[in-house]
């Protein structure tokens, strides 16, 4: 029996009204052949019509599928000639994306609800592409970006987790360029792009949602670090042994008076060390290196200077010249020999431990400690010579002129080489860093020679003229050195702020965290806040210390130094920072609960 075909009937020759077809999806069906999810239709072009079911409902807890809404047929046209509604190009963004299923015994995290129309900046200088085996799709969001407005899908096959954005991306911020630091261009930032984080942090990191903590693996080049540490300990032990040997010789020569000489010479030394450590508070250098620098100046540089001077005297006698004139020795020989033996250690440090010598402030700190140690031993010798003459007045005059009137001479001379090496260490290769030792060394020699020549000349005119000249020159050198330290200290803070800004613009940090970690006031308030939670202050200290290390690593990557080893170290430091932050957030939630 045949049935009469009408406007609402179907048959082999009349396919019926056109139904909007959902976009095709890759092979994401379940083993029983059911579709894992159906995308939602695009915008409606007319009034809704009656819904026709498309087969049996889904089983096994799958969400029921809703068929697309039909458009009303146009009047006066056969059904098979009805115009096909155009596909909305925006429907491509509703393609199902594979999500990582929850592991056994874990709770599936809540899916974020991003704002439609936003695009995350996954990488400085470029975005992240599709994962392995996934061809690019037109209109498909970047890998790891949640689909704005898309339906929540279930039952997808498990694949490796992709980066997920738990908040709309933050607006990039331009951070001020510090002084005494290499200029960073956008091309450098593109070349040394930061790897996007697994989950971007929000603008409220201390009250935000839980972030998955990444396990912290072993630091790259840990074997090399251990070797350098062992060598540094050996050098320190040798220097301590040399100091004890000098103390034994001094005790034999001066007896009990040695303790008084050490006490008088230690007065300017303590002040210099306190100021240098204050300058080094922002990004402290290893105390082991600081101790080596101090002992090198007090022991090794003094012994090398005496040895070279003795060899020079013997050489002059052998060629028949005789002794060197005192003026020539004070103005030429002493500056050349002393500044070379003192600052050669700076070259060794920058070659063996460049990570701890990455700026002019580090050079100032190391050079100042070397010069302070050298001045300490030299003051002991000069004070002992004045005391041996049996005149206490001469002892106190020598103390006033050397320890009180001009305590920063050797500190200032050695700082020159340290600053020039530090300026080159941030951006230039190792051979250029070594060459930059010579400009600072020459400047230190010139200042040293001018000082000795001026004091010798004024002493021949009148003793009071020598005292007046000493006060004036010492005031100028001291003022320049102290001012330079303050300028470099502020520049170091701005440099850290600038480098951490790259991580904030990528999503590893928030701009609020950069403000906290890149300012003295922010660090102070951060420690006070973290101190209210068990173990929180220690985690905050770890974050502050790691942020300083990240700024160093970032500058080396921008300068093209370190290669893949430096990138691996950057990833390690970022995970270390994130883990410390997660532990701090967990402690704050436990306390609040």
**Following CA atoms 362, 368, 373, 375 in sequence, which dihedral angle do they give, to the nearest 10 degrees?**
170
- Output the CA–CA distances (angstroms, integers) from residue 570 to 57, 219, 557, in the order listed: 51, 10, 9
**What does residue 191 show for φ and ψ, rounded to 5 degrees?**
-70, -35
pLDDT for residue 433: 93
Q: Please, what is the average pLDDT of the chain?
A: 75
pLDDT for residue 171: 66
Segment 460-470 mean pLDDT:
90
pLDDT for residue 390: 63
Q: Could you report the per-residue pLDDT of 93-137, keeping only the tens digit for each?
A: 333 344 344 444 444 444 443 343 333 333 333 333 344 444 443
Best-predicted range by mean pLDDT (130-144, 149-163, 177-191, 518-532): 518-532
Nearest-angstrom CA–CA distance, 493 and 496: 5
Nearest-angstrom CA–CA distance, 262 and 313: 29
Alpha-carbon dihedral sign for residues 237, 238, 242, 248: positive
Cβ-proximal residues to 18 (8 Å cutoff; 6+ apart), any chain: 82, 84, 85
Question: 154 by DSSP, 3-state: which?
Answer: coil
Q: Is the pLDDT of residue 246 over 50?
A: yes
Nearest-angstrom CA–CA distance, 573 and 211: 17
Cβ-proximal residues to 473 (8 Å cutoff; 6+ apart), any chain: 406, 451, 454
Q: Could you report the per-residue pLDDT of 536-581, keeping only the tens digit for each?
A: 889 999 999 999 999 999 998 998 888 888 899 999 999 999 999 9
User: What are the start-end ranges of the E strands in 219-376?
Assistant: none
Q: Is the pLDDT of residue 376 over 90?
A: yes
Give the pLDDT band of residue 441 (cuts 50, 70, 90).
Answer: very high
Q: Could you report the per-residue pLDDT of 151-183, keeping only the tens digit for each?
A: 343 344 444 444 443 444 556 777 666 665 666
Nearest-angstrom CA–CA distance, 371 and 302: 11
Are 458 and 469 in contact by the 8 Å Cβ rule? The answer is yes
- Specify the DSSP class assigned to residue 174: P
pLDDT for residue 450: 95
Are 437 and 421 in contact by the 8 Å Cβ rule? The answer is yes
pLDDT for residue 269: 96
Nearest-angstrom CA–CA distance, 41 and 519: 51
Cβ neighbour number for residue 178 with a 10 Å cutoff = 20
pLDDT for residue 95: 39
pLDDT for residue 58: 42
164 - beta bridge partners? 199
């Amino acid at each position: 029996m045949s049935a009469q075909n009408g406007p609402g009937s179907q048959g082999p020759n009349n396919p019926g009204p056109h139904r909007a077809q959902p976009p095709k999806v890759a092979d994401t069906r379940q083993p029983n052949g059911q579709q894992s999810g159906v995308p939602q239709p695009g915008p409606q072009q007319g009034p809704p019509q009656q819904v026709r079911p498309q087969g049996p409902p889904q089983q096994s807890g799958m969400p029921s599928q809703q068929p697309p809404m039909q458009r009303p047929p146009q009047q006066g046209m056969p059904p098979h000639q009805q115009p096909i509604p155009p596909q909305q190009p925006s429907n491509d963004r509703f393609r199902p994306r594979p999500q990582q299923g929850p592991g056994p015994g874990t709770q599936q995290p809540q899916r974020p609800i991003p704002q439609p129309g936003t695009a995350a900046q996954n990488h400085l200088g470029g975005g992240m592409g599709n994962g392995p085996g996934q061809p690019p799709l037109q209109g498909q969001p970047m890998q790891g970006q949640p689909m704005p407005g898309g339906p929540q899908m279930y039952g997808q096959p498990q694949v490796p987790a992709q980066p997920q954005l738990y908040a709309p991306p933050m607006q990039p911020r331009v951070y001020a360029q510090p002084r005494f630091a290499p200029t960073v261009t956008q091309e450098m930032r593109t070349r040394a792009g930061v790897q996007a984080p697994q989950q971007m942090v929000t603008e409220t990191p201390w009250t935000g949602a839980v972030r998955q903590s990444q396990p912290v693996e072993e630091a790259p080049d840990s074997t090399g670090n251990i070797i350098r540490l062992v060598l540094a300990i050996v050098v320190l032990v040798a220097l301590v042994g040399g100091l004890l040997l000098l103390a034994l010789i001094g005790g034999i020569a001066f007896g009990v008076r040695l303790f008084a000489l050490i006490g008088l010479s230690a007065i300017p030394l303590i002040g210099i060390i306190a100021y240098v450590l204050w300058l080094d508070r922002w990004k402290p250098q290893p105390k082991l290196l600081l101790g080596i620098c101090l002992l090198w100046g007090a022991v090794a540089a003094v012994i090398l200077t005496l040895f070279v001077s003795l060899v020079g005297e013997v050489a002059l006698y052998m060629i028949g010249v005789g002794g060197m004139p005192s003026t020539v020795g004070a103005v030429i020989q002493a500056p050349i020999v002393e500044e070379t033996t003192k600052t050669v250690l700076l070259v060794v440090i920058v070659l063996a431990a460049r990570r701890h010598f990455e700026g002019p402030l580090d050079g100032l700190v190391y050079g100042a400690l070397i010069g302070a140690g050298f001045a300490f031993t030299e003051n002991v010798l000069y004070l002992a010579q004045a005391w041996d003459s049996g005149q206490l007045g001469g002892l106190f005059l020598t103390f006033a002129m050397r320890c009180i009137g001009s305590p920063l001479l050797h500190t200032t001379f050695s700082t020159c080489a340290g600053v020039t090496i530090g300026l080159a260490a941030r951006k230039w290769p190792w051979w250029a860093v070594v060459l930059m030792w010579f400009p600072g060394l020459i400047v230190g020699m010139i200042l040293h020679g001018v000082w000795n020549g001026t004091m010798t000349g004024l002493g021949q005119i009148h003793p009071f003229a020598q005292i007046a000249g000493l006060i004036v020159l010492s005031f100028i050198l001291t003022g320049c050195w102290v001012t330079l330290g303050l300028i470099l200290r502020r520049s170091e803070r701005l440099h850290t702020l600038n480098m951490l800004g790259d991580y904030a613009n990528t999503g590893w940090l928030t701009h609020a965290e950069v403000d906290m970690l890149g300012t003295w006031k922010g660090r102070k308030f951060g420690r006070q806040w973290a101190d209210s939670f068990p173990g929180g202050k220690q985690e905050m200290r770890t974050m502050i210390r790691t942020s300083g290390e990240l700024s160093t690593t970032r500058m080396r990557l921008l300068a093209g130094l370190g290669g893949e080893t430096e990138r691996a170290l950057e990833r390690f430091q970022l995970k270390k920072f994130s883990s410390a932050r997660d532990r701090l957030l967990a402690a704050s939630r436990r306390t609040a609960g």
